[in-house]
Amino acid sequence: MEYNPTYNPYSLRGKVVLVTGASSGIGRATAIECSRLGATVVITARNENRLRETFDMLSGDSNQMILCNLADDEAINKLVEEVPHLDGLVNNAGYQEYLPVPFIKKDKLEAIMSVNTIAPIALLQKLLRAKKITKGASIVFTSSLAGLGINAPGNSMYAATKGAISAFVTGAAIDLAPKKIRVNAVCPGMVNTAIMDYGTVGEEELKADAANYPLGRYGEPEDIAYAIIYLLSDASSWVTATNLVIDGGVSAR
């Protein structure tokens, strides 16, 4: 077989993909890379200025930007009404908050569960009910190593939200398989943008922790985006109910 320079099983040309939490980090990188691979990208987040920055970085001229606070059920309903039919959904929006177990309060737990767990599940359910997910579509959730039980002090609330997501994708994949809709999650280790946002850990501590990773560094948003693209593309057409670990080898320690 001759070399074909245009051959690309990871191409997203002709696909429409919704990316939540697209104003920064993994969501921004995923939206940009999806557009570069030919997808029409619909991006959503709460912060209009940062979302606009992402939108201006996208390739192509058919992309769409929709503001949405996923903690608001009515906002999710409006988002579902506005989006076109989707070949891919990247449920990425979420946040992290460190609290040791003795200091967990009900309102804090409910808030993080609402955004990290309930909202992405509700969004998928509403999109399915509105028949906005096409047959053969791919759904990707952003989970975490913490959701698989590889945790750190003070991170139990976040781990609980992501553990629920990692378990949810396996059941959802079974439920949606008759429609050839695949459901998977990516489970990143530490990713640089997510760390720097907190400002609670010094540079030397970060360097020492990164040295625990066999590949010698934390991840970059693009590292996770490329894995998400694999799961969105036809190259992964026989992959569903999977929690894909992307962690520079740290979980092997």
Enzyme catalytic residues: 158
Q: What is the C-alpha separation between 32 and 162, in angstroms, rounded?
A: 24
Q: What is the C-alpha separation between 43 and 193, in angstroms, rounded?
A: 19
Start-end of H helices in 41-139 = 48-57, 73-82, 106-113, 119-129
Q: Assign 220 to helix, strand or coil.
A: coil
Q: What are phi and psi of 113, to 5 degrees?
A: -65, -35
| Strand 40-45, strand 182-188: pairing | unpaired
CB-based contact 45:20 (threshold 8 Å): yes
Query: Residues 6 or more apart from 233 whose CB is under 8 A from it?
Result: 9, 10, 11, 12, 37, 138
Chain position carrying tokens 């906002």:
75
CB-based contact 116:143 (threshold 8 Å): no
127 CA to centre of own chain: 17
Query: Would you give the DSSP letter of residue 181?
Result: -
Q: What is the C-alpha separation between 25 and 142, in angstroms, rounded?
A: 12
